[in-house]
Chains A and B, each alone.
Chain A
Amino acid sequence: RKEVEQDPGPFNVPEGATVAFNCTYSNSASQSFFWYRQDCRKEPKLLMSVYSSGNEDGRFTAQLNRASQYISLLIRDSKLSDSATYLCVVRKRDYGGATNKLIFGTGTLLAVQP
C-alpha cells in the first residue's frame, strides 16, 4: 500500500465549478501536510500547508482529519489557470535527526474547461 494515496483523475470541470480532491495517508507518525501544484513538465511548487484546524487561502481551502488520516483540498470558482496536477505531500516525523523528509502522492490531474 502506498504511504500517500490520491485519486489520479483526471477531473474535468467547467470554469467556475467547485472541485474537491482527497488524499489518505497510512503512517500515523506523519507530522505535517501540504498541497503542491505541478504544471505539465515543470517542478512542483508549494500551494499551501494544511493545518489541523483547516485553513483557507483565497479560493483554496485545505482540511485535515488526523483520526481518519485524510486530507482534502477544495477549489472554488475554478479558473483555467488552475489546470495542473495537485500533489498531496506528507512530512514524516523524524525522531533521530532533523531531516525534512517528504512523501509525495502521485497527484490528481485537474483540467478546467472554458
Chain B
Amino acid sequence: DGGITQSPKYLFRKEGQNVTLSCEQNLNHDAMYWYRQDPGQGLRLIYYSQIVNDFQKGDIAEGYSVSREKKESFPLTVTSAQKNPTAFYLCASSIRGTYNEQFFGPGTRLTVL
C-alpha cells in the first residue's frame, strides 16, 4: 500500500533531550513537509523540502532541524532549544509544484515530561 508512515505514534522525552521523529513515504513524492498542531491553533509549517538534499525553514523552524538525504525520508529532530515541544507533529508529502494535494501521515504525539 502506498502511503506515509510516521513513527513512533507516541513519544515521551525528558527536558533537555533531543529527539528524532521519523517520516517515510513510498508515494514517490518529491516534496515533504513537517507541521506541528497545538490545541486551539491551526497546523503550522516547521520545515519543507522540495527535493533531495534541499530544505527550507517554514514559519516556526527555531529549535528544529531536518535532513533530506533520501527521497523517501524526511526526519525531524526536536532539539533542546525548542521551548515548547509538546505537540502533535504531522508529516506530509506531495508531488512537487504549487497545485498538488498534500497527503498526511498519521502523526506523532510528543510529550515532554
Contact = CB atoms under 8 A, between A and B. Distances in A.
Contacts, number: 58
Given A98-B97, A100-B100, A43 B107 contact: yes
A106 B107 contact: no
Chain A's interface size range is: 20 to 34
Interface string A82-114: 000001000100100111111111110000000
Interface string B30-67: 01000100001111110010100000101000000000
Q: Is the interface of B mostly helix, strand, loop or mixed?
A: loop
Chain B's interface size range is: 20 to 34
Contact of B40 (A8, A87, A100): A8
Interface string A21-41: 000000000011000000001
Interface string B71-113: 0000000000000000010100010111111101111010000
27 contacts: A2-B42, A4-B42, A8-B40, A31-B98, A41-B88, A41-B107, A41-B109, A43-B104, A43-B107, A44-B43, A45-B104, A46-B102, A87-B43, A97-B50, A98-B97, A99-B48, A100-B31, A100-B96, A100-B99, A100-B100, A101-B58, A102-B43, A103-B42, A104-B42, A106-B40, A106-B41, A107-B42
Interface of B: 31, 35, 40-45, 48, 50, 56, 58, 88, 90, 94, 96-102, 104-107, 109
